[in-house]
Amino acid sequence: MTAMTADRETGARPMTAALRAGYAELLAAARASVAAAARGDADPVAWVRGVLEDRGQLPEPGARPAQVVADARSAMRLAGWTP
């Protein structure tokens, strides 16, 4: 293993861990929202809204859900990821 490869791997580990933690947090919020909706809670989306708000990722006021999803899928395609 070259020094350059080792540096990349060392730098990638914390980034991968942060991505996994962020995904786990968002997944937990989504699951909590589904459970809250099943219980009939007044604002089941509050769990997801809180995570998105903390990250500065709330959709613009009046955004259409289908457009929010389409925008995200377009960004993923441009980045070389496929849904």
What is the pLDDT at residue 82? 76
**Does an H or E element contain 55, and which?**
helix 46-55
Mean pLDDT, range 7-19, rounded to an integer: 81
Residues 29, 35 contacting (CB under 8 angstroms): no
Tell me the two tokens of residue 48.
């997801």
The tokens 């942060």 sit on which residue?
A: 18
Q: What is the pLDDT of residues 19-69, one digit of tens each?
A: 999 999 999 999 999 999 999 999 999 999 999 999 999 999 999 999 999
Q: How many alpha carbons fall within 13 Å on the CB side of residue 65?
A: 0
Higher pLDDT, 50 or 7: 50
Q: Is the pLDDT of residue 9 over 90?
A: no
C-alpha span between 65 and 60 (Å, rounded): 11
What is the residue type of 27?
L
- Higher pLDDT, residue 76 or 81: 76
Amino acid at 37: A
